[in-house]
């Protein structure tokens, strides 16, 4: 029963927690460079995950470690570095969201090349979802867009897309013995190593003394990492790469709602309308067969 309930709630939890990363980044931006924030996010998260898996006496073979290391490098290190660098280059948040929303269509196209046909229903849903994102971020999303920032955002989108596709095409060894917790632990260590190298090489490893920085880190670890990436990996396991990518259509509008609730930023009616249209597209992509798919076994669905 609990597994069925989690499976039903997981997409909504994914959208809310994934969008929460905006709040943490906003908290940290005035006091620390993005590289510093990303490093300390994983300085806290990776050891925490290691302690948990050690207490649970989890064991990993070399094939599993190799797969999760590649997925972590792409889905966490590559994606986050691309997005944060895009923001540092001055790319507007709406533009970044619009570019990131190319991901579901890209994932569907790539998988179709491997025989994973989605059909007309999926194509219509993806198109409607993207139209909703374009409306949610507003007509000024591409105004003043710098080439460097756009390229970094595209690189992040491609990195997350590659992780989603590889996660589907590269079967996990001993799937029944490993779950989302194991993926978070291994991928978190990989991301820590990546951001550690980048931060020390750029001289941006030292954390600021401002207490708000640690509030941002706690937020990013608890909601964006454990919640956002935990739900992302869970939905990826239970519903597939196109489904998990499509649910991210809703994150730009939900991020705007976070900003309205936390920082008093304006929430345009276009954003609300865009959310409704994106939601319609997501529901169209959810085919009847996907909704009827049996829930995974408890061993594979633990999180």
- The reported pLDDT for the residue numbered 289 is 44
Which letter does DSSP use for residue 182 in this model?
H
- Name which of 145, 148, 144 is nearest 82 in CA terms: 148
- The reported pLDDT for the residue numbered 141 is 58
**pTM for the structure as a whole:** 0.84
Higher pLDDT, 98 or 62: 62
Q: Which residue has the tokens 């085919």?
A: 287
Higher pLDDT, 73 or 240: 73
Higher pLDDT, 54 or 112: 54
pLDDT, one tens digit per residue, over 102-131 is 888 888 888 887 776 666 778 888 888 888
- The reported pLDDT for the residue numbered 291 is 42
* Structure confidence at residue 298 as a pLDDT band (50, 70, 90): very low
- The reported pLDDT for the residue numbered 65 is 94
Domain locations along the chain: 2-298
CA distance 6 to 233: 13
**Beta strands, E only, the chain:** none
Q: 207: phi > 0 → left, psi -120 to 50 → alpha, else beta; which?
A: beta
Region 163-189: what's the mean pLDDT?
87
Contact status, residue 21 vs residue 253, Cβ threshold 8 Å: no
- The reported pLDDT for the residue numbered 155 is 92
Which letter does DSSP use for residue 117 in this model?
-
Contact status, residue 263 vs residue 26, Cβ threshold 8 Å: yes
């Amino acid at each position: 029963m609990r597994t069925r309930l989690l499976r039903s709630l997981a997409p909504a939890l994914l959208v809310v927690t994934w969008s929460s990363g905006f709040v943490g980044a906003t908290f940290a931006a005035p006091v620390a460079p993005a590289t510093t924030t990303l490093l300390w996010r994983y300085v806290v998260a990776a050891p925490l995950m290691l302690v948990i898996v050690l207490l649970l006496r989890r064991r990993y073979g070399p094939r599993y470690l190799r797969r999760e290391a590649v997925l972590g490098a792409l889905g966490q290190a590559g994606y986050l570095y691309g997005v944060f660098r895009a923001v540092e280059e001055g790319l507007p948040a709406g533009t970044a969201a619009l570019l990131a929303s190319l991901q579901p269509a890209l994932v569907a196209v790539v998988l179709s090349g491997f025989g994973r046909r989605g059909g007309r229903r999926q194509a219509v849903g993806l198109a409607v979802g993207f139209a909703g994102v374009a409306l949610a971020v507003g007509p000024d999303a591409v105004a003043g867009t710098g080439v460097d920032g756009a390229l970094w955002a595209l690189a992040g989108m491609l990195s997350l897309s590659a992780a989603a596709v590889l996660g589907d095409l590269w079967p996990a060894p001993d799937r029944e013995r490993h779950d989302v917790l194991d993926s978070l632990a291994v991928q978190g260590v990989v991301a820590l190593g990546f951001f550690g190298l980048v931060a020390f090489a750029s001289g941006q490893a030292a954390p600021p003394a401002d207490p708000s920085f640690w509030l941002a880190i706690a937020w990013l670890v608890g909601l964006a990492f454990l919640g956002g990436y935990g739900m992302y990996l869970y939905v990826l396991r239970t519903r597939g790469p196109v489904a998990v990518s499509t649910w991210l259509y809703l994150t730009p509008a939900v991020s705007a709602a976070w900003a309205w609730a936390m920082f008093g930023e304006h929430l345009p009616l276009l954003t609300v309308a865009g959310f409704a249209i994106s939601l319609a597209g997501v529901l169209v992509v959810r085919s009847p067969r996907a909704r009827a798919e049996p829930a995974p076994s408890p061993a594979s669905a633990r999180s």
